[in-house]
Amino acid sequence: MKSYNKLVLGILVMLAIMINAGCSSVVSHQDSIFDNDSKIIAQGDSHTYKSRLGNIADKETEIKFNSFSGSDTIYRIISDGESDAIFNFSSISDKGDFKVVLITADDEIINIVNGTGEGSESISIEDGTSRVKLIGKKAKGEIKLKIESGENVDIKVVD
C-alpha cells in the first residue's frame, strides 16, 4: 500500500508542475506582446484579465480592468476609401503598461493612447480593414474611447 501512495503522490506532484509550467509560459507570452510589434499586429489575440467591467459598444468603449496582459482586439474598422476618424480618449493607467493602438490595413501600428492621458487623435483611415487593439502588461486602469468617423467607414465591435 505504501508504494501505491508514493505513486499517487508522485503523479500529483508531476501534474502540479506541468500545470504551473504551462500557465507561466502563457503569461510570459502575453507579457511579451507589449513591446513586440510583430505580436501586436498578429490577427489572433491572447489576453487575460483578472477583472474587466464595462462596455464596448458601437464607436464607444468604457471599461475598467485589472491585471490585463496581452492583446485584445475591440474594433474592426472597414473603410471604402481614405477617410478621417477622430479618436477621443481618456485613459488612466494605475499599474503596469497599457496602450491603445490602431493597426492599419497595411499593418502599420499607430499609438492612440499610451498610459495615462486625455485627448483627441485624428487619424486617416485608408481603404481596407484596420483594427483597434488594447495592449497591456500587468495593467490596471480604465479607458474611455469614442470614435467619430465619416460615412464610408464602418466600425464593428469584435466579440
CATH number at residue 123: 2.60.120
In a domain, 25, yes or no: no
Nearest CA to 124 out of 100, 140, 102 is that of 102
Report the predicted TM-score, pTM, of the whole model to 2 decimal places: 0.82
The predicted pLDDT at position 1 comes to: 57
Asked, for residue 66, whether it belongs to a domain, the answer is: yes
Distance between CA atoms of residues 63 and 142, nearest Å: 6
Structural domain includes residue 1: no
47: which 3 cell numbers?
489576453
Q: What's the pLDDT score for residue 26?
A: 63
Mean pLDDT of 114-143: 95
Residue 16: inside a domain, yes or no?
A: no
Q: Give a yes or no: residue 84 inside a domain.
A: yes
Tally of domains within the chain? 1
Please give the single-letter amino acid code of residue 119: G
- In sequence order, the β-bridge partners of residue 152 are none
What lies within 8 Å, CB to CB, of 111 at 6+ separation is 99, 100, 101
Answer yes or no: is pLDDT of 21 > 90. Answer: no
Give the per-residue pLDDT at 97: 96
For 146, list phi and psi in degrees, rounded to 5: -130, 130
